[in-house]
Structure 1
Amino acid sequence: MDERKRLEELRRQLTELDQEILRSIERRARIAHELAKLRTGTARFAPTADAAHVQALERAVTPPFPQRAVRPIFVAIDAASRAFEVAPRVAYLGAEGDYGWTAAHDHFGIGGEFVRADSPLAAIEEVARSRADFAVIPYESLKEGPIFPTIQAIGGADLKVVGERQLVQALDLVNRTGSLADVERVYSSPQDHVACVNYLELQHPRALVLDVRGPQAAWDLAAENEGSAAIVPRGFAGGQELRVARENVGDEGELRIRYAVLSRLPSPRSGHDATAILFSVHDRPGALHDILQHFKERSCNLRRVHSRPVPGEGWDYVFYVEVSGHTTDRALVAALEGVKRETKMLKIIGSFPLERPDPPHERA
């Protein structure tokens, strides 16, 4: 077979395979629609391609196909499979292309209508007042731990955490040439500017720093203007080609942030869930021990335990606990019934599928 005929044959095979893939995606969409109809009383748009499912697909990849390509492909397919459903309205923090926007798009793919909120409380309000179906907001940092004001606001608004998305946040300086010597002005969003103040003062003391709406605007201006650079989230691709001049320019380096997905309705059980709760204890010896004992007796694995003083309440503390399992799991139902009897206050913040499921030996 000559080269031309071989090329035509390969193109024919690709066309046939693409048709097969398309028919399979259409069948998947119909199944996802039937599954969604059975989920009554729970948050719609619970991903059918959940963490455990995607990880199983990643393990099944045959080299040289890249494992890292599996998640974005199936998140996109999962979102496209919801053509039968009304696109959810999703509130997120920050400008287009920033981390909040990325976390929201990572979770909902193309299947969402995304609206910007100026603060976590504003995003929570959008969902609480039914102006949005979901909100995606920062929930925990590896450096500072759980963000208690946000968690307490979620509980106060009677919303539920129904998902999580983890991001490693780092900022890069990009320009046309990839050379720091060519940087005369720097475009940045206000929040990224604040995160890089020390770097800019030490490394570019003569550069003019201009605040713009967000990473996309910074990227576009750096691409259009000679001698300009932009501070953007790592991995951000703004359309026109720019090169990385300096990686990780944030004053605090890389930050691992966990975002919470909020809804008015609880999430369905996925089989790889965690449950978040807030509680306060009575002022007596062994009070906390007695509460945690309920989880131990029922083999419920405590994934996180944190405490913070309650503002305006002297030395009273509120405790935040994450435990493996869903609130509908029999063992966890029994444990929470015991906990409720022992606490001054108990609030279930939500059960949600884990982005990275616990290994089997750690799961209760």
Structure 2
Amino acid sequence: MDERKRLEELRGQIAEIDQEILHIIERRARVAQELSKLRPGTSRYAPLAEASDLQSLERAAPTQIPAAAIRPIFTAIDAACRSSEVAPRVVFVGAEGDFGWQAAREHFGHGPEFVRVEATGAALDEVTRSRADFAVVPYESFTEGPIFPTLLAIGGADLKVVGERELSQALVLVSRSGNLAEVEKVYTSPQDHVACVRYLELHHPRALVLDVRSPLMAWDLAAEEANAAAVVPRGFTGSRELKVARENIGDEGEVRIRYGIVSRLPAPRSGHDTTAVLFSVRDRPGALHDILHHFKERNCNLRRIHSRPIPGEGWEYVFYVEVGGHSTDRTLVAALEGVKREAKMLKILGSFPLERLDASPPPERL
């Protein structure tokens, strides 16, 4: 068989397989619609609804498909299957194409209506006032720890953390040719400009640097000019092809950020959850020890513990902990009841599925 015939045969096989995939997706959409009828009014709109489902698919990935490709594939399928539902309104912090936008798109797929705001407080206010279903906000830096103003704002508004999305944030320089020597003009969002000002001054001192509204606009403008480049988040792509001219140009290097998915309604139990809690202690010897003992006594795994001064309260501190399990699990309910008796203040920020699952079985449900 000559090469042309073999090529046509393989293309024909792919076309047949694509038709089979389409029919399977149609079946999945019907099941998803039936599921949505049984769970009206819940906040289950998320990729596959369960983090454990995505993890199982990633573990089952065949050798021909990288595990990293599984999540975006099935997130897109899930969003398409929900197209007949009322799309949720998701608010994110930052510009189109920036890291907050990427976190929102990675978590929810392409189905929702995405709305940008300038600050975390504005994003949370949109959810509080029922003008949005979810907010995607910066939650923790892996160098600085939890972002306590965000945690306190979530607790104060009585909102719930229902999910997480971790990003490795790095900026790249892209252009049509990918040749650094040809760069005479650089388009960037104001936020990204601040993050890579030293790089631009050192490596492109003669280039004209122009601030534009968003990385999306920077990409589109750079695609129109032969000697122009754009500063964009790693992984972002626009409507036209550009090449990476320089990786990781941020002055602070690559930064890992965890984003919190916030809603008015709590997340249902997945069996692989963590619960976020804020509390403060009374001013007496052993107060913190007595509170933490309630978690140890009931074999609840403390995954994180951080503390910060409470603004305006002198030397009073607030503690943030993440403990394994859902807030409806029997053992965690008992532990939190004990903490409530000891603590000066206790606020359950929410329970949400872990992106990385452990091998422990789901705890007994209350």
Q: Provide the TM-score with structure 2 as the length reference.
A: 0.93
Contact persistence 1:49–1:74 (CA under 8 A)? no
1:252–1:6: structure 2 CA closer, same or farther, 3 Å change rule?
Answer: closer
**5+ residue gaps, structure 2:** none
Corresponding residue for 2:265?
A: 265
Equivalent in the alignment of 1:244: 244
State the one-letter code of the partner of 1:191: Q
Determine the structure 2 residue equivalent to 1:83. 83
Equivalent residue number for residue 306 of structure 1: 306
CA gap 1:209/1:7 in 2 versus in 1, 3 angstroms: closer
Q: CA deviation at 1:4?
A: 6.9
SS of match in other structure, 1:267: coil
- In the aligned structure 1, how far is the partner of 2:187 from the partner of 2:83? 38
Alignment of 1:50-199 (within 5 A): 50-199=50-199
Give the structure 2 partner of residue 341 of structure 1.
341
Render the CA deviation track for 1:119-168: whole Å, top value 9, x for unaligned.
10000010000001111111001011100001111111111011111100
Aligned match of 2:26: 26
SS at match of 2:53: helix
How many pairs were matched up? 364
Q: Tell me what 1:210 maps to.
A: 210
Q: Following TM superposition, by how much is the alpha carbon of 1:12 offset from its aligned partner in structure 2, in angstroms?
A: 4.9
Aligned-residue sequence identity (percent) comes to: 72
State the Cα distance separating 1:355 from its structure 2 match.
1.5
1:303-331 Cα deviation digits (max 9, x unpaired): 11000000111100000010111111111
Q: Distance in 1 between the 2:176 and 2:41 partners?
A: 52
2:78 aligned counterpart, secondary structure: helix
| Alignment-mate amino acid for residue 222 of structure 1 | A
User: Counterparts of 1:75 and 1:184 in 2: how far apart (Å)?
Assistant: 39
Q: Supply the RMSD in Å over aligned alpha carbons.
A: 2.2
Q: Does structure 1 conserve the Cα–Cα contact (< 8 Å) formed by 2:104 and 2:136? A: yes
8 A Cα contact 2:47 2:74, kept in partner: no
Contact 2:277–2:348, Cα closer than 8 Å, also in 1: yes
Shift, 1:79, TM fit = 1.2
TM-score between both structures, scaled by the size of structure 1: 0.94
Contact 2:142 2:255 in 1 (8 A): yes
CA contact (8 A) 1:95 1:116 kept: yes
The 1-side partners of 2:22 and 2:306 are apart by 47
Q: Distance in 2 between matches of 1:213 and 1:76?
A: 27
- The 2-side partners of 1:18 and 1:202 are apart by 49
Counterpart AA for 1:151: L
User: What letter is aligned with 1:260?
Assistant: G
| Superposed CA offset, 1:100-132 (max 9, x none) | 111111111122011111110000010000001
Matched, 1:326 2:323: no
Which structure 1 residue ranges, 4+ long, deviate > 6 Å from structure 2?
1-5
CA distance in 2, matches of 1:113, 1:96: 13
Comparing 42-51 and 335-344, the one that deviates more? 42-51
